[in-house]
C-alpha cells in the first residue's frame, strides 16, 4: 500500500501542474487579445480624430488633451465618455466625444462625434460595432458615405423633428431593411449635441485627465 502512494502523489502533482500551466497560458492569451484589441482601437481613434478635425485647424496634441466623464442623461448605461479637445493658440476649436450608442441592433456602437465650437457637427465616425454585414454596417465610412451626412448639422439645422431617420419622419436615410442601426446613431449624435450645448465651455476648461494638477 505504502509503495503505491508515491506514483499516485506524483500523478496528482503532474496533473495539478498541467492545470496551472494551462490556466496561465489561457490567461496570457486572453490578456494579449484584450491588449491587441485595445491597441487596434487606439490606432483607429488616432486616425479618425484627424479625419474629423483637419490637423491644420489645431495646434495642440489633440489625442493627449482629453477629459473623461459620465452623464447618464445623455450617455446611458453608466458609460465613460472621453472628450478630446482641439485648440488653436489656446482657443477652443472643436471637441470630439468618444462614446457608445447603446441601442444598435447587436449592442453598442462606439462613435467619435466631433463638434465645432460653433456647435455644428465637425464629423462623425464609427470606431467599433457589431452590426450585421450587408445590413447595418453602412454606418462605417469604409462601406458608405452615410456617416458623412452629419457634417455641418446642428441642433437647429435640421429642426428637432428632423433628427430622426426618414422612416420616423426625420431627415436621415435608413438602410434597406435596416432601420435600427442608423436610428441608434442619429439619436446618439443628437444627444451628443445636446450635451455640448449645455456643457461645451466647461468641457474646454476642464483640466486634462492625464496631467497632474500642480499646486500654485
Ligand atoms: C439576421 C438579421 C440581422 C439583422 N441585422 C440588422 C442590423 O445590423 N441593423 C438593422 O438596423 N437591422 C437589422 N436587421 C433588421 C431588423 O430586424 C429590423 O427588421 C430592421 O432594422 C427594421 O428596418 P425596416 O423597418 O427598414 O425593415 C436584421 C435582421 C435579421 C433577421
* Ranges 21-30, 95-104, 167-176: which has the least confidence: 21-30
DSSP 135: T
Domain presence at residue 211 = no
Domain presence at residue 7 = no
Residue 40: which pLDDT band, with cuts at 50, 70 and 90? confident
Residue 29: which pLDDT band, with cuts at 50, 70 and 90? confident
Domain presence at residue 108 = yes
Cell of 127: 470606431
Q: How far apart are CA 33 and CA 31, in angstroms?
A: 5
Q: What average pLDDT does the chain have?
A: 91
Q: Decide whether any atom of ligand 1 lies within 6 Å of the 155 Cβ.
A: no
Number of domains in the chain: 1
Domain presence at residue 41 = no
Alpha helices in the chain (DSSP H): 2-52, 180-205
- Is the CA virtual torsion 195, 201, 207, 208 positive or negative? positive
Q: How far apart are CA 154 and CA 191, in angstroms?
A: 11
Domain presence at residue 114 = yes
Its domain, for residue 166, covers 49-205
Domain presence at residue 166 = yes
Q: Decide whether any atom of ligand 1 lies within 6 Å of the 133 Cβ.
A: no
pTM equals: 0.84
Instruction: Tell me the CA–centroid distance for residue 184 and ligand 1, in Å.
Output: 12
| Residue ID of nearest Cα to ligand 1 atom 7 | 136
Domain presence at residue 151 = yes
Q: Decide whether any atom of ligand 1 lies within 6 Å of the 116 Cβ.
A: no
Amino acid at each position: 500500500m505504502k509503495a503505491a502512494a508515491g506514483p499516485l502523489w506524483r500523478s496528482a502533482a503532474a496533473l495539478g501542474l498541467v492545470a496551472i500551466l494551462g490556466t496561465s497560458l489561457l490567461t496570457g492569451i486572453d490578456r494579449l487579445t484584450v491588449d491587441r484589441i485595445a491597441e487596434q482601437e487606439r490606432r483607429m481613434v488616432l486616425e479618425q480624430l484627424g479625419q474629423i478635425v483637419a490637423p491644420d485647424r489645431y495646434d495642440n496634441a489633440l489625442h493627449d488633451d482629453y477629459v473623461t466623464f459620465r452623464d447618464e442623461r445623455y450617455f446611458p448605461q453608466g458609460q465613460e465618455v472621453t472628450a478630446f479637445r482641439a485648440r488653436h493658440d489656446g482657443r477652443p476649436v472643436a471637441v470630439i466625444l468618444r462614446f457608445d450608442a447603446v441601442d444598435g441592433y447587436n449592442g453598442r456602437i462606439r462613435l467619435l462625434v466631433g463638434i465645432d465650437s460653433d456647435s455644428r457637427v465637425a464629423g462623425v465616425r464609427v470606431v467599433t460595432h457589431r452590426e450585421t454585414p450587408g445590413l447595418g454596417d453602412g454606418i462605417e465610412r469604409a462601406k458608405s458615405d452615410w456617416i458623412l451626412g452629419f457634417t455641418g448639422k446642428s441642433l437647429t439645422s435640421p429642426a428637432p423633428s428632423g433628427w430622426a431617420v426618414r422612416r420616423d419622419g426625420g431627415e436621415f436615410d435608413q438602410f434597406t431593411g435596416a432601420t435600427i442601426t442608423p436610428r441608434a446613431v442619429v439619436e446618439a449624435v443628437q444627444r451628443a449635441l445636446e450635451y455640448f450645448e449645455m456643457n461645451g465651455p466647461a468641457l474646454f476648461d476642464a483640466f486634462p485627465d492625464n496631467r497632474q494638477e500642480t499646486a500654485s
